[in-house]
Amino acid sequence: MRQFELIAFIFCFCPFVYFKYFRRENREIFCQNSSSSVKHTKKTGKVIILTVLTVVVLFYLLPNVAFIEQSLEIRATPDKVFELINRPENWAEWYTPLRDTSGVKIRFIGTPEGKGAGMKWISNHSKTSAGIMNIRNSKNNRNVTVDLTINEKRSAVMNFKIRPVGIDASMLTISSRLRFRQDSLLHYLRLMFDRSDELAIIDCLENIDDAAIGKTGGIDAHLQRIEPFSYISITDSCAREDVPQLMENSYNELLVFGAKSGIDMTGRPIAVYHKLGERQVVLELGIPVINEKAPVAGRIQYKTMQGGDNVVANYYGSYDTLEDGHNAIQQWLIRYRRKMTGPPWEMFVTDPAAEPDPNKWLTRIYYPVD
Protein backbone atom coordinates (compact mmCIF):
# COMPACT_ATOMS: atom_id res chain seq x y z
CA MET A 1 0.00 0.00 0.00
CA ARG A 2 2.94 2.34 0.62
CA GLN A 3 4.08 1.72 -2.98
CA PHE A 4 0.60 2.63 -4.19
CA GLU A 5 0.75 5.90 -2.24
CA LEU A 6 4.16 6.69 -3.73
CA ILE A 7 3.01 6.03 -7.29
CA ALA A 8 -0.10 8.16 -6.75
CA PHE A 9 2.07 10.94 -5.37
CA ILE A 10 4.44 10.88 -8.39
CA PHE A 11 1.57 10.79 -10.89
CA CYS A 12 -0.02 13.80 -9.23
CA PHE A 13 3.19 15.73 -8.62
CA CYS A 14 4.97 15.29 -11.98
CA PRO A 15 2.20 16.75 -14.22
CA PHE A 16 1.98 19.69 -11.84
CA VAL A 17 5.74 20.26 -12.16
CA TYR A 18 5.62 19.97 -15.91
CA PHE A 19 2.83 22.46 -16.47
CA LYS A 20 4.05 24.81 -13.75
CA TYR A 21 7.70 25.08 -14.75
CA PHE A 22 8.98 23.12 -17.76
CA ARG A 23 6.25 24.07 -20.19
CA ARG A 24 6.41 27.74 -19.24
CA GLU A 25 10.19 27.93 -19.47
CA ASN A 26 10.32 25.93 -22.69
CA ARG A 27 8.05 28.59 -24.19
CA GLU A 28 10.62 31.15 -23.09
CA ILE A 29 13.36 29.21 -24.88
CA PHE A 30 11.28 28.91 -28.04
CA CYS A 31 10.38 32.57 -28.14
CA GLN A 32 13.57 34.24 -26.96
CA ASN A 33 16.17 31.63 -27.92
CA SER A 34 18.18 32.91 -24.99
CA SER A 35 21.07 30.95 -23.51
CA SER A 36 20.28 32.42 -20.07
CA SER A 37 16.78 30.98 -20.21
CA VAL A 38 18.21 27.55 -20.96
CA LYS A 39 20.51 27.73 -17.96
CA HIS A 40 17.62 28.82 -15.76
CA THR A 41 15.47 25.95 -16.99
CA LYS A 42 18.17 23.39 -16.24
CA LYS A 43 18.67 24.79 -12.77
CA THR A 44 14.94 24.68 -12.03
CA GLY A 45 14.73 21.11 -13.29
CA LYS A 46 17.53 19.99 -10.98
CA VAL A 47 15.83 21.59 -7.98
CA ILE A 48 12.56 19.85 -8.78
CA ILE A 49 14.19 16.46 -9.30
CA LEU A 50 16.10 16.83 -6.04
CA THR A 51 12.87 17.77 -4.25
CA VAL A 52 11.06 14.70 -5.59
CA LEU A 53 13.92 12.41 -4.57
CA THR A 54 13.98 13.94 -1.09
CA VAL A 55 10.24 13.37 -0.67
CA VAL A 56 10.61 9.75 -1.81
CA VAL A 57 13.44 9.06 0.66
CA LEU A 58 11.62 10.73 3.53
CA PHE A 59 8.47 8.80 2.72
CA TYR A 60 10.24 5.46 2.95
CA LEU A 61 12.00 6.48 6.14
CA LEU A 62 8.70 7.56 7.71
CA PRO A 63 7.70 5.04 10.41
CA ASN A 64 4.16 3.68 10.45
CA VAL A 65 3.89 4.05 14.24
CA ALA A 66 2.66 6.98 16.33
CA PHE A 67 2.67 7.42 20.12
CA ILE A 68 0.04 9.26 22.18
CA GLU A 69 -0.11 9.61 25.97
CA GLN A 70 -2.55 11.36 28.32
CA SER A 71 -3.11 11.32 32.10
CA LEU A 72 -5.96 12.23 34.43
CA GLU A 73 -6.55 12.03 38.17
CA ILE A 74 -9.46 9.65 38.77
CA ARG A 75 -11.69 10.21 41.78
CA ALA A 76 -11.59 6.57 42.88
CA THR A 77 -9.19 4.07 44.40
CA PRO A 78 -6.82 2.04 42.14
CA ASP A 79 -8.75 -1.21 42.68
CA LYS A 80 -11.95 0.32 41.30
CA VAL A 81 -10.15 1.80 38.28
CA PHE A 82 -8.38 -1.51 37.68
CA GLU A 83 -11.70 -3.38 37.76
CA LEU A 84 -13.10 -1.18 34.99
CA ILE A 85 -10.13 -1.85 32.70
CA ASN A 86 -9.21 -5.43 33.59
CA ARG A 87 -12.66 -6.89 32.76
CA PRO A 88 -13.66 -6.50 29.08
CA GLU A 89 -17.36 -6.47 29.96
CA ASN A 90 -16.77 -3.23 31.89
CA TRP A 91 -15.41 -1.44 28.81
CA ALA A 92 -18.98 -0.59 27.78
CA GLU A 93 -19.05 1.81 30.74
CA TRP A 94 -16.24 4.02 29.39
CA TYR A 95 -15.00 3.02 25.90
CA THR A 96 -16.84 5.43 23.59
CA PRO A 97 -17.60 3.07 20.64
CA LEU A 98 -19.34 0.64 23.04
CA ARG A 99 -21.30 3.09 25.20
CA ASP A 100 -24.29 3.26 22.84
CA THR A 101 -25.40 -0.29 23.60
CA SER A 102 -28.45 -0.09 21.32
CA GLY A 103 -26.28 -0.57 18.23
CA VAL A 104 -23.49 -2.76 19.58
CA LYS A 105 -23.00 -6.52 19.24
CA ILE A 106 -20.32 -7.87 21.58
CA ARG A 107 -18.83 -11.35 21.86
CA PHE A 108 -16.48 -12.01 24.78
CA ILE A 109 -13.51 -14.30 24.23
CA GLY A 110 -10.96 -15.90 26.51
CA THR A 111 -11.05 -15.59 30.29
CA PRO A 112 -13.47 -13.22 32.10
CA GLU A 113 -10.69 -10.92 33.31
CA GLY A 114 -6.96 -10.35 33.30
CA LYS A 115 -4.44 -11.81 30.87
CA GLY A 116 -6.16 -13.63 28.01
CA ALA A 117 -9.50 -11.86 28.38
CA GLY A 118 -10.90 -10.10 25.33
CA MET A 119 -13.85 -9.31 23.11
CA LYS A 120 -14.96 -8.62 19.56
CA TRP A 121 -17.55 -6.03 18.65
CA ILE A 122 -19.52 -4.49 15.80
CA SER A 123 -21.08 -1.07 16.38
CA ASN A 124 -22.67 1.90 14.63
CA HIS A 125 -19.77 4.15 15.61
CA SER A 126 -18.55 5.97 12.51
CA LYS A 127 -14.78 5.56 13.12
CA THR A 128 -14.60 2.28 15.05
CA SER A 129 -17.41 0.18 13.64
CA ALA A 130 -15.60 -3.08 14.33
CA GLY A 131 -12.79 -4.08 16.63
CA ILE A 132 -10.98 -6.72 18.65
CA MET A 133 -9.33 -6.24 22.05
CA ASN A 134 -7.23 -8.66 24.02
CA ILE A 135 -5.50 -8.15 27.37
CA ARG A 136 -1.84 -8.99 26.87
CA ASN A 137 -0.67 -8.40 30.43
CA SER A 138 -2.22 -7.47 33.78
CA LYS A 139 -0.70 -6.54 37.14
CA ASN A 140 -3.15 -6.25 40.01
CA ASN A 141 -4.29 -2.64 40.58
CA ARG A 142 -1.22 -1.30 38.76
CA ASN A 143 -1.03 -1.94 35.04
CA VAL A 144 -3.01 -3.37 32.12
CA THR A 145 -1.65 -3.79 28.57
CA VAL A 146 -4.17 -4.28 25.77
CA ASP A 147 -3.84 -5.19 22.08
CA LEU A 148 -6.48 -3.35 20.05
CA THR A 149 -7.40 -3.66 16.36
CA ILE A 150 -9.82 -1.20 14.75
CA ASN A 151 -11.60 -1.85 11.44
CA GLU A 152 -8.78 -4.23 10.39
CA LYS A 153 -6.75 -1.16 9.35
CA ARG A 154 -5.19 0.13 12.54
CA SER A 155 -3.73 -1.69 15.48
CA ALA A 156 -2.62 -0.26 18.79
CA VAL A 157 -0.97 -1.36 22.00
CA MET A 158 -2.66 0.50 24.84
CA ASN A 159 -1.06 0.64 28.26
CA PHE A 160 -3.05 1.67 31.33
CA LYS A 161 -0.84 2.65 34.27
CA ILE A 162 -2.51 3.24 37.66
CA ARG A 163 -0.92 4.72 40.76
CA PRO A 164 -2.55 5.83 44.02
CA VAL A 165 -2.95 9.54 44.77
CA GLY A 166 -3.87 10.30 48.36
CA ILE A 167 -6.46 8.15 50.13
CA ASP A 168 -9.24 7.70 47.58
CA ALA A 169 -7.91 8.87 44.20
CA SER A 170 -5.72 7.48 41.41
CA MET A 171 -3.58 8.84 38.61
CA LEU A 172 -4.40 6.99 35.39
CA THR A 173 -2.08 7.28 32.39
CA ILE A 174 -3.16 5.88 29.02
CA SER A 175 -0.44 5.50 26.40
CA SER A 176 -1.30 4.29 22.92
CA ARG A 177 1.19 3.11 20.30
CA LEU A 178 -0.71 3.22 17.00
CA ARG A 179 0.42 1.13 14.05
CA PHE A 180 -0.98 1.95 10.60
CA ARG A 181 -1.47 -1.03 8.32
CA GLN A 182 -2.72 1.00 5.36
CA ASP A 183 -2.62 4.59 4.15
CA SER A 184 0.21 5.49 6.54
CA LEU A 185 0.96 8.81 4.81
CA LEU A 186 -2.66 9.85 5.09
CA HIS A 187 -2.69 8.86 8.76
CA TYR A 188 0.39 10.95 9.45
CA LEU A 189 -1.08 13.93 7.68
CA ARG A 190 -4.22 13.47 9.75
CA LEU A 191 -2.21 13.28 12.97
CA MET A 192 -0.53 16.58 12.06
CA PHE A 193 -3.80 18.46 11.63
CA ASP A 194 -6.37 16.34 13.47
CA ARG A 195 -6.34 15.66 17.25
CA SER A 196 -9.15 13.07 17.16
CA ASP A 197 -6.98 10.19 18.47
CA GLU A 198 -5.67 12.32 21.32
CA LEU A 199 -9.17 13.56 22.12
CA ALA A 200 -10.46 9.98 22.07
CA ILE A 201 -8.01 9.02 24.83
CA ILE A 202 -9.01 12.10 26.84
CA ASP A 203 -12.64 11.08 26.38
CA CYS A 204 -11.84 7.57 27.69
CA LEU A 205 -10.11 9.04 30.75
CA GLU A 206 -13.11 11.23 31.56
CA ASN A 207 -15.51 8.32 31.04
CA ILE A 208 -13.44 6.11 33.36
CA ASP A 209 -13.59 8.87 35.98
CA ASP A 210 -17.38 9.04 35.62
CA ALA A 211 -17.77 5.25 35.73
CA ALA A 212 -15.43 4.87 38.71
CA ILE A 213 -17.33 7.30 40.91
CA GLY A 214 -20.71 6.16 39.55
CA LYS A 215 -22.54 8.83 37.60
CA THR A 216 -25.85 6.99 37.80
CA GLY A 217 -27.92 9.66 39.51
CA GLY A 218 -24.90 10.70 41.58
CA ILE A 219 -24.69 7.23 43.19
CA ASP A 220 -21.67 4.98 42.84
CA ALA A 221 -22.95 2.00 40.79
CA HIS A 222 -20.53 -0.47 39.25
CA LEU A 223 -20.00 -4.14 38.42
CA GLN A 224 -18.06 -6.12 41.03
CA ARG A 225 -17.24 -9.77 41.65
CA ILE A 226 -17.78 -10.88 45.24
CA GLU A 227 -16.59 -13.97 47.09
CA PRO A 228 -19.05 -16.39 48.74
CA PHE A 229 -19.59 -15.99 52.47
CA SER A 230 -21.58 -17.71 55.22
CA TYR A 231 -24.19 -16.13 57.47
CA ILE A 232 -26.96 -16.94 59.93
CA SER A 233 -30.38 -15.51 59.19
CA ILE A 234 -34.07 -15.18 59.97
CA THR A 235 -36.66 -14.99 57.20
CA ASP A 236 -39.96 -13.23 57.95
CA SER A 237 -42.64 -11.07 56.33
CA CYS A 238 -44.36 -7.86 57.33
CA ALA A 239 -46.06 -4.77 56.00
CA ARG A 240 -43.78 -2.15 54.42
CA GLU A 241 -44.24 0.27 57.28
CA ASP A 242 -43.18 -2.40 59.80
CA VAL A 243 -39.80 -3.21 58.15
CA PRO A 244 -37.67 -1.15 60.63
CA GLN A 245 -39.21 -2.92 63.62
CA LEU A 246 -38.82 -6.35 62.00
CA MET A 247 -35.14 -5.63 61.33
CA GLU A 248 -34.47 -4.51 64.88
CA ASN A 249 -36.16 -7.55 66.41
CA SER A 250 -34.49 -10.05 64.05
CA TYR A 251 -30.97 -8.65 64.43
CA ASN A 252 -31.30 -8.63 68.21
CA GLU A 253 -32.42 -12.25 68.13
CA LEU A 254 -29.46 -13.21 65.94
CA LEU A 255 -26.98 -11.39 68.17
CA VAL A 256 -28.31 -13.08 71.33
CA PHE A 257 -28.25 -16.49 69.63
CA GLY A 258 -24.71 -15.94 68.32
CA ALA A 259 -23.42 -14.89 71.74
CA LYS A 260 -24.94 -17.94 73.43
CA SER A 261 -23.72 -20.36 70.74
CA GLY A 262 -20.19 -18.99 70.56
CA ILE A 263 -20.54 -18.11 66.87
CA ASP A 264 -17.90 -15.73 65.52
CA MET A 265 -19.94 -12.93 63.91
CA THR A 266 -17.51 -10.53 62.26
CA GLY A 267 -19.42 -9.04 59.33
CA ARG A 268 -21.94 -6.25 59.00
CA PRO A 269 -25.72 -7.03 59.01
CA ILE A 270 -27.37 -7.84 55.67
CA ALA A 271 -30.95 -7.84 54.38
CA VAL A 272 -32.09 -10.02 51.45
CA TYR A 273 -35.31 -8.95 49.70
CA HIS A 274 -37.05 -12.16 48.60
CA LYS A 275 -40.31 -10.35 47.85
CA LEU A 276 -40.97 -6.63 47.69
CA GLY A 277 -44.65 -5.93 47.09
CA GLU A 278 -46.57 -2.70 47.34
CA ARG A 279 -47.84 -3.64 50.80
CA GLN A 280 -46.08 -6.80 51.91
CA VAL A 281 -42.35 -7.56 52.16
CA VAL A 282 -40.56 -10.91 52.62
CA LEU A 283 -37.17 -10.25 54.21
CA GLU A 284 -34.22 -12.38 55.21
CA LEU A 285 -32.13 -10.65 57.89
CA GLY A 286 -28.66 -12.04 58.45
CA ILE A 287 -25.23 -11.56 60.01
CA PRO A 288 -22.08 -12.98 58.35
CA VAL A 289 -20.13 -15.60 60.29
CA ILE A 290 -16.77 -17.30 59.81
CA ASN A 291 -17.72 -20.69 61.27
CA GLU A 292 -17.59 -23.54 58.76
CA LYS A 293 -20.95 -24.78 60.01
CA ALA A 294 -22.70 -22.72 62.66
CA PRO A 295 -25.31 -24.42 64.88
CA VAL A 296 -28.91 -23.41 64.21
CA ALA A 297 -32.09 -23.50 66.25
CA GLY A 298 -35.73 -22.69 65.60
CA ARG A 299 -36.22 -20.25 62.77
CA ILE A 300 -32.53 -19.32 62.63
CA GLN A 301 -30.83 -20.80 59.55
CA TYR A 302 -27.27 -21.20 58.34
CA LYS A 303 -26.85 -19.92 54.75
CA THR A 304 -24.16 -19.26 52.15
CA MET A 305 -24.31 -16.18 49.95
CA GLN A 306 -23.27 -17.19 46.45
CA GLY A 307 -20.33 -15.30 44.94
CA GLY A 308 -20.10 -13.95 41.41
CA ASP A 309 -20.87 -10.78 39.51
CA ASN A 310 -22.98 -8.17 41.26
CA VAL A 311 -23.96 -4.62 40.42
CA VAL A 312 -23.11 -2.67 43.55
CA ALA A 313 -24.27 0.77 44.66
CA ASN A 314 -22.58 2.54 47.55
CA TYR A 315 -25.39 4.64 48.98
CA TYR A 316 -24.81 7.33 51.59
CA GLY A 317 -27.91 8.54 53.38
CA SER A 318 -30.86 7.68 55.55
CA TYR A 319 -32.48 4.25 55.33
CA ASP A 320 -35.72 6.02 54.37
CA THR A 321 -34.22 6.94 50.97
CA LEU A 322 -32.53 3.64 50.10
CA GLU A 323 -34.91 3.31 47.17
CA ASP A 324 -32.75 5.85 45.31
CA GLY A 325 -29.85 3.39 45.41
CA HIS A 326 -32.04 0.58 44.06
CA ASN A 327 -33.30 2.86 41.27
CA ALA A 328 -29.71 3.66 40.28
CA ILE A 329 -28.87 -0.04 39.91
CA GLN A 330 -32.06 -0.72 37.93
CA GLN A 331 -31.09 2.05 35.52
CA TRP A 332 -27.64 0.47 35.22
CA LEU A 333 -29.21 -2.91 34.40
CA ILE A 334 -31.32 -1.37 31.64
CA ARG A 335 -28.41 0.57 30.19
CA TYR A 336 -26.03 -2.39 30.04
CA ARG A 337 -28.68 -5.05 29.38
CA ARG A 338 -27.82 -7.30 32.30
CA LYS A 339 -30.29 -9.65 34.02
CA MET A 340 -30.66 -10.42 37.70
CA THR A 341 -29.90 -13.96 38.81
CA GLY A 342 -31.06 -13.67 42.42
CA PRO A 343 -32.79 -11.40 44.93
CA PRO A 344 -31.22 -8.01 45.76
CA TRP A 345 -29.61 -7.57 49.15
CA GLU A 346 -28.12 -4.83 51.29
CA MET A 347 -25.21 -4.60 53.70
CA PHE A 348 -25.37 -1.93 56.38
CA VAL A 349 -21.74 -0.85 56.63
CA THR A 350 -22.15 2.08 59.04
CA ASP A 351 -23.35 1.52 62.57
CA PRO A 352 -25.93 4.26 63.36
CA ALA A 353 -25.03 3.99 67.05
CA ALA A 354 -21.47 5.07 66.22
CA GLU A 355 -22.36 7.68 63.58
CA PRO A 356 -25.28 10.00 64.45
CA ASP A 357 -25.33 11.79 61.06
CA PRO A 358 -27.63 9.85 58.64
CA ASN A 359 -25.96 11.50 55.64
CA LYS A 360 -22.80 9.54 56.46
CA TRP A 361 -24.48 6.15 56.74
CA LEU A 362 -23.10 3.83 54.06
CA THR A 363 -25.30 1.04 52.73
CA ARG A 364 -24.02 -1.26 49.99
CA ILE A 365 -26.75 -2.54 47.70
CA TYR A 366 -26.07 -5.71 45.68
CA TYR A 367 -27.88 -7.08 42.62
CA PRO A 368 -26.59 -10.50 41.42
CA VAL A 369 -26.35 -10.55 37.60
CA ASP A 370 -25.53 -13.03 34.85
Confidence of residue 186 (pLDDT cuts 50, 70, 90): low
How many helices (DSSP H) and strands (DSSP E) are in the chain? 9, 15
Q: What angle do CA 159, 128, 117 make, to 5 degrees?
A: 45
* Domain match, 245 and 348 both: yes
Cα→Cα distances 166→75, 79, 201, 291, 316, Å: 10, 14, 24, 36, 21
Whether residue 154 has pLDDT greater than 70: yes
Query: For the ranges 10-19, 102-111, 266-275, which has the lowest average pLDDT?
Result: 10-19
By three-state DSSP, how is residue 276 classified? strand
Chain segment 335-347, per-residue pLDDT in tens:
778 899 999 999 9
Q: Is a pLDDT exceeding 90 seen at residue 332?
A: no
pTM score, whole prediction: 0.47
Contact by Cβ (8 Å): 249, 297: no
Is residue 273 included in any domain, yes or no? yes
Q: Of all helices (H) and strands (E), which one includes residue 80? A: helix 78-86
Give the pLDDT confidence score for residue 216 in this predicted structure. 46
- Looking at the structure, do residues 164 and 123 belong to the same domain, yes or no? yes
Both 298 and 356 in one domain: the answer is yes
Instruction: Please indicate, yes or no, if residue 153 is contained in any of the structural domains.
Output: yes
Q: Tell me the residue ranges of DSSP E strands in the chain.
A: 65-74, 105-109, 118-122, 130-139, 143-150, 154-165, 169-180, 220-226, 229-239, 270-276, 280-289, 301-305, 308-316, 345-348, 362-368
Tell me: do 265 and 336 sit in the same domain.
yes
The CA distance from 158 to 160, in Å, is: 7
Q: Give the residue from 257, 214, 142 showing the smallest Cα distance to 365.
A: 214
Residues 25 and 43 in one domain: yes
Distance in angstroms (rounded) separating the CA atoms of residues 46 and 275: 88
pLDDT at 128: 61
Q: Where residue 167 falls among pLDDT bands split at 50, 70, 90? A: confident
Residues 136 and 193 in one domain: yes
Q: What is the mean pLDDT of residues 40-55?
A: 66
Q: Which domain holds residue 17?
A: 2-61
Same domain, 53 and 73: no
Query: Do 69 and 208 fall into the same domain?
Result: yes
CATH number of the domain bearing residue 167: 3.30.530.20
Cα 62 to the center of its chain, rounded Å: 33
Point out the domain boundary residue: 213, 234, 269.
Answer: 213
Does residue 218 lie in a domain region?
A: no
Single residue among 33, 61, 89 that ends a domain in this structure: 61
Q: What's the number of domains the chain is made of?
A: 3
Asked if residue 324 has pLDDT above 60, the reply is yes
Question: Within a domain: residue 240?
Answer: yes
- CATH of residue 339: 3.20.80.10
Q: Establish if 340 belongs to a structural domain.
A: yes
Strands 229-239 and 280-289: antiparallel
Task: Kindly indicate the confidence band of residue 51, based on its pLDDT and cuts at 50, 70 and 90.
Answer: confident
Q: Who wins on pLDDT, 45 or 132?
A: 132
Kindly report the number of other CB atoms within 10 A of residue 26's CB atom.
14
Q: State yes or no: pLDDT of 238 exceeds 90.
A: yes
**pLDDT band (50, 70, 90) for residue 7:** very low
Of 31-40, 71-80, 92-101, 309-318, the poorest mean pLDDT is in 31-40
* Tens-place pLDDT, residues 249-288: 999 999 999 888 888 887 889 999 999 888 899 999 999 9
Q: At what angle do helices 78-86 and 196-213 cross, to 10 degrees?
A: 120
CA distance 31 to 132: 65
Domain co-membership, 22 together with 122: no
User: How confident is the model at residue 9, as a pLDDT?
Assistant: 53
Furthest-apart CA pair in the chain: how many Å?
120
37 in the same domain as 109: no
Q: Which of 61, 76, 95 is the last residue of a domain?
A: 61
Do 246 and 125 share a structural domain?
Answer: no
Q: Which comes out higher in pLDDT, residue 140 or 61?
A: 140
On the question of pLDDT at 130 being above 80, the answer is: yes
Q: CA dist 123 to 197, 262, 321, Å?
A: 18, 57, 38
pLDDT-based confidence at 291, cuts 50/70/90? low
Q: In this structure, are 93 and 195 located in the same domain?
A: yes
